[in-house]
Amino acid sequence: MKTFHVIIVLTFVSVTPSSQPTEPEQITELKRQLHWAQLKIQVLEEKLRLQRIKKYGPGSEKLNDAQLQLLELEPSVSNEEVQAESEREAVPTPAPAKRRRRKHPGRQTLPGDLPREERVIGCAPEQCTCQACGEPMKVIGYDRSEQLDVEPARYFVLVTKREKRACQCCEQGGVAAAPAPARIIDKSLVSDRVVIDTVVAKYSDHLPLYRQSVILERETGLKISRATLDGWVMRVGELLTPIALAMRRELVSGSYIQADETPVDVQIRNGRPQNHQAYLWQYGRPGAGVVFDFRLGRGRDGPKQFLGLFEGILQTDGYIAYEGVGGPRVVHAACWAHARRGFVDAGKLSPRDAAAAGVVKRIDDLFGIDAHARERNLDFAARHTLRQEHAAPLLDLIRGDVEAALADALPSSTLGKAAKYTLGLWRKLTRFLEHPELELSNNLAENSMRPVAVGRKNWLHVGSPSAGPKVAAILSVVESCRRLKLPVRHYLAAVLPGLADTSIQRLPELTPAAWAARSRSTD
Q: What sections of 274-335 are H helices per DSSP? A: 301-307
Among 234-248, 275-289, 439-453, 477-491, which is the least confidently predicted range?
Answer: 439-453
Q: At CA 313, angle to CA 284 and CA 376, rounded to 5?
A: 75
Residue 522: Cβ within 10 Å count: 6
355 neighbors 405 (Cβ within 8 angstroms): yes
Average per-residue pLDDT in the chain?
A: 83
45-to-32, 51, 91, 407 alpha-carbon distances in Å: 20, 10, 26, 20
Predicted local confidence at residue 306, as pLDDT: 94
pLDDT score of 308 more than 80: yes
Contact 155, 190 (CB under 8 A): no
Nearest-angstrom CA–CA distance, 135 and 128? 9
Whether the model clears a pTM of 0.85, i.e. scores above it, the answer is no
The reported pLDDT for the residue numbered 469 is 93
For residues 138-145, give the mean pLDDT. 88
- Band (pLDDT 50/70/90 cuts) for residue 93 is very low
How many CA atoms does the CB half-sphere of 259 hold within 13 Å? 31
Band of pLDDT at residue 420, cut at 50, 70 and 90:
very high
Dist. CA 22–CA 433, nearest whole Å = 54
CA atoms within 13 A on the CB side of 1: 1
Residue 92 has pLDDT above 70, yes or no: no
Give the integer Cα–Cα distance in Å for 247 and 79.
Answer: 44
Instruction: Please tell me whether residue 302 adopts helix, strand or coil conformation.
Output: helix
Tell me the angle at which helices 512-522 and 226-252 cross, rounded to the nearest 10 degrees: 80
What count of other Cβ atoms lies within 10 Å of the Cβ of residue 471?
A: 24
> In the prediction, which pLDDT does 336 show?
93
Model confidence at 512: pLDDT above 60:
yes
User: Which helix H or strand E contains 336, and what residues bound it?
Assistant: helix 336-349
Q: What is the mean pLDDT of residues 215-244?
A: 93
| Separation between Cα atoms, residue 317 and residue 396, nearest integer Å | 22
| Range from 39-43, 56-60, 155-159, 208-212 carrying the lowest mean pLDDT | 56-60
Strand partners, 264: 278
pLDDT tens per residue across span 14-64: 444 445 667 777 788 788 788 777 777 777 776 777 776 666 665 555 555
User: pLDDT (tens digit, 9 = 90+) per residue, 392-410?
Assistant: 999 999 999 999 989 888 7
The larger pLDDT score, comparing residue 35 to residue 338, is at 338
Instruction: Report the percent of the chain where pLDDT is more than 90.
Output: 41
Q: At what angle do helices 226-252 and 209-220 cross, to 10 degrees?
A: 130
The predicted pLDDT at position 77 comes to 53
- H-assigned helices in 253-353: 301-307, 336-349
Left (φ > 0), alpha (ψ -120 to 50) or beta: where does 258 sit?
Answer: beta
Instruction: Indicate the residue type of 74.
Output: E
CA–CA distances in Å: residue 451 to residues 86, 117, 138, 205, 343? 30, 34, 57, 9, 26
Residue 389 DSSP code: I
pLDDT band with cut points at 50, 70 and 90 for residue 66: low
Q: Is 436 exposed, middle or buried (0-12, 13-18, 19+ CB in 10 A)?
A: middle
- pLDDT band, residue 13 (cuts 50/70/90): very low
The Cα-based distances of 59 to 43, 73, 256, 347, 350 in angstroms read 22, 18, 39, 15, 15
pLDDT at 496 over 90: yes
Interval 93-98 mean pLDDT: 41
On the question of pLDDT at 6 being above 50, the answer is no
Provide the sign of the torsion angle of the four alpha carbons 354, 360, 364, 365, taken in this order: positive
Widest Cα–Cα separation across the chain: 132
Q: Cβ–Cβ contacts within 10 Å for residue 387, how many?
A: 21
As a dihedral over the C-alpha atoms of residue 275, residue 279, residue 280, residue 286, rounded to 10 degrees, the angle is 150
Pairing of strands 290-295, 175-177: unpaired
370 near 440, Cβ under 8 Å? yes
DSSP letter at 390 equals I
Question: What is residue 135's predicted lDDT score, i.e. its pLDDT?
Answer: 87
pLDDT at 481 over 70: yes
Task: Return the number of other C-beta atoms located less than 10 Å from residue 288's C-beta.
Answer: 20
- What is the Cα–Cα distance from 163 to 210, expressed in whole angstroms? 38
Looking at residue 64, its pLDDT comes to: 53
